[in-house]
Amino acid sequence: MALPRPGRPAGVLSSVTLQLLLHVTAAYFVFYFLFTLGLIIKKSLVLSYPSDALVCDIFLLFLLAALEFLHFSIGVKGNLTESETYVFGNLLLTGATILLTVYFLVWQSYVMRADVIISSVSLGLYGLDGVLAFSTLTRFARVHS
């Protein structure tokens, strides 16, 4: 029988709900990315899309994909290893992904109803991610302090 290390709690602090939500958010993001890329291509073919705005929108979508990959990786690692640093990094990345999602919801060159719907769902998932990551971070900090 293994005894708990001094200064460490005997129980597991990782959040199953956060872990599940990170996976759901990542799976939804694959759909979000492909659908948004398809909408940008459709808009560029049908509407008079300024070329600099098209490049900007595509660049920001790929930046969002990179940030989402980091968000997922750091969030999963932080939750499973009970690392306050990684979970805090996940919170920072959540803020960045929220800002870029708001860009696609409000500020991109042409916003269609489909953009509003899929971006709103994505914002809801990121909001839940942020709340759960914050509560997990406070639990880690309270026990590890």
Confidence band, pLDDT 50/70/90 cuts, at residue 7: low
- Measure the CA–CA gap between 75 and 92, rounded to whole angstroms: 11
Q: How many residues does the chain have?
A: 145
The alpha carbon of 47 is separated from its chain's Cα centroid by a whole number of angstroms, namely 30
Residue 88, pLDDT > 60, answer yes
Q: Which domain holds residue 62?
A: 16-144
Residues 95-139: pLDDT tens digits? 999 999 999 999 999 999 999 999 999 999 999 999 999 999 999
pTM, rounded to two decimals: 0.91
**Does residue 101 lie in a domain region?**
yes
Number of domains in the chain: 1
Confidence band, pLDDT 50/70/90 cuts, at residue 11: confident
**Does residue 3 lie in a domain region?**
no
What average pLDDT does range 20-36 have in this prediction? 98
**Does residue 8 lie in a domain region?**
no
